[in-house]
Chains A and B, each alone.
Chain A
Amino acid sequence: MIDVDTAHWVLEETLKRGAEHAIVRLQERIYETVVYDTGILRSYTVSRVIGLGVRAVIKGGTGYTYTTSMDRESILKAVDKAIALTKVASQYGKKSFTPTAPVKDRYRVEFKIDPHAVEPKLKVDLVKEVNTSSIKREGIVSAVTRLGLERDRRVIVTSEGTVVEVDVVGVGLAHMAVAKYGAVIERVGDRESYIGGYEHIEKRDWNAFAEEIDKLAIKASQSKTPPPGTYVAVVDNEVVGLLLHEAFGHASEGDGVVAGASILKNRIGEKVTSELITIVDAGLVEGGYPVPYDDEGVQKGKTIVVDKGVLKGYLTSRDTSQELNLKPTGNARAQDISFDTLVRQTNYYAEPGEWKVEELFEGVSHGIYLRGRGAMGGQVNPSVGTFTFSIGPSYIIRNGEPVELVRGVVVSGNILETLKEVDAVANDLKITTSVFGGCGKGGQTVRVGDGGPHIRTRKIVVGGG
Chain B
Amino acid sequence: MIENIVERGIKVATKLGVGEVEVYAIRRIGTDIVGTTRGIERLSSGERIDVGVRVVIGKKVSVQGGMISRAEDLDSIVETAVKIARTLPEDPLWVSLPKGLGKSHVEETLDPKIVEPNTDYFIDVVQLLLKRSSEIDRRAFTSSASVHLSTVERAIGNSYGEIQREDSTEFSVFVSVKATEAGEESGYYEAYVAPTLTRFNPDEIVSKATEVAVKTLGARRVDTGDYELVFIPKVFAGVIQSLIVPAVCADSVQKGRSPLKDKIGRQVLSENLTIVDDGTYPGLMGTRSFDDEGVPTKRKVVFDRGVLNGFLYDTYTALVEGKSSTGNAFRNVPYSTPTPWISNLLVEPGSGDLSDLVKDVKKGVVVYATIGEWLSNPVSGLLNATITNGMYIESGEERFPVKGVVLSGNVYEVLKPVEVRVSGSLERFGRFSLPAIYIPRITLAGK
Binding site for B on A (CB under 8 A): 1, 35, 37-38, 40-51, 53, 61-71, 78, 81, 85-86, 88-89, 92-95, 119-121, 124, 128, 141-142, 178, 180, 184-187, 225, 228-230, 255-256, 258-261, 263, 323, 338, 340, 376-381, 383-390, 407-408, 410-414, 461-465
Q: Find chain A residues with CB under 8 A from B65 CB.
A: 45, 47-48
Contact between B46 and A42 (Cβ–Cβ < 8 Å)? no
Asked if B367 lies at the interface with its beta carbon under 8 angstroms from chain A, I say no
Question: Which of B119, B187, B376, B407 is in CB contact (< 8 Å) with A381?
Answer: B187
B359-412 with Cβ < 8 A to chain A? 369, 371-372, 374-377, 379-380, 382, 384-386, 388-389, 403-409
Q: A383 and B406: CB pair below 8 A? A: no
State the CA gap A176–B407 with chains docked (Å).
25
Are A463 and B185 also in contact (CB < 8 A) when A378-B375, A383-B178, A384-B388 are? no
- Check if B89 sits within 8 Å of A178, measured CB to CB: no
Is the beta-carbon distance between B41 and A62 smaller than 8 angstroms? yes
Partner of A377 from the list B68, B185, B375 (CB cut-off 8 Å) is B375
Quick check: A386 and B386 within 8 Å, CB to CB? yes
Q: Name the B residues within 8 Å of A259 (CB-CB).
A: 36-38, 143-144
Q: How far is the CA of A187 from the CA of B256 in the complex (A)?
A: 11
**B371 and A37 contact, CB distance less than 8 A:** no
**Minimum distance in angstroms from B394 CB to a CB of chain A:** 21
Find the A residue at minimum CB distance from B410.
A465
Main secondary structure of the interface of A (DSSP, over half): strand
Q: Which residue of A lies closest to B123 (CB)?
A: A92
Interfacial chain A residues near B40, Cβ < 8 Å: 89, 92-93
How many residues on B have C-beta within 8 angstroms of the other chain's C-beta atoms? Answer: 85
What are some 19 contacts across the A-B interface (CB < 8 A)?
A46-B80, A50-B73, A61-B43, A64-B44, A66-B48, A68-B48, A68-B68, A69-B70, A89-B43, A185-B380, A187-B379, A228-B408, A255-B36, A259-B38, A378-B372, A390-B376, A411-B406, A461-B446, A465-B409
Q: A53-B46, A69-B49, A186-B380 are in contact. Are A38 and B255 (CB under 8 A)?
A: yes
Contact of A412 among B41, B64, B406, B447 (CB under 8 A): B406
> CB of B204 within 8 A of chain A?
no
Q: Given A1-B69, A187-B380, A386-B371, answer yes or no on A67-B46 (Cβ-Cβ < 8 Å).
A: yes
Cβ < 8 Å to A, chain B residues 111-161: 119, 123, 127, 141, 143-144
A391 to chain B, nearest CB (A): 9
Closest 5 CB pairs of A and B: A463-B406, A383-B187, A228-B445, A48-B66, A92-B40
Proximity string of chain B (197-220) to chain A, C-beta cutoff 8 Å, 1 when within and 0 when not = 000000000000000000010010
In the complex, which residue of chain A has the Cβ closest to the Cβ of B33? A89
Binding site for A on B (CB under 8 A): 35-49, 61-70, 73, 80, 84, 87-89, 91-93, 119, 123, 127, 141, 143-144, 176, 178, 185-187, 216, 219, 221, 224, 251, 255-257, 259, 333, 335-337, 369, 371-372, 374-377, 379-380, 382, 384-386, 388-389, 403-409, 443-447
Contact B87 A119 (CB under 8 A): yes
Known: A49-B67, A178-B379, A388-B385. 11 other contacts (CB 8 A): A66-B44, A68-B49, A69-B47, A85-B45, A92-B40, A124-B87, A187-B257, A386-B403, A388-B406, A412-B386, A465-B408
Given known pairs A45-B64, A185-B380, A383-B185, the reply for A65 and B44 (CB within 8 Å) is yes
Q: Are B45 and A388 in contact (CB under 8 A)?
A: no
Q: Which of B44, B144, B389, B409: most chain A Cβ within 10 A? A: B44
Q: Is the CB of A40 within 8 A of B384?
A: no
Chain B residues with CB under 8 A of A41: 61, 88-89, 91
Contact assessment for A260 and B44 in the assembled complex, using a CB-CB cutoff below 8 Å: no
Q: Check B408–A338 contact: CB distance below 8 A.
A: no
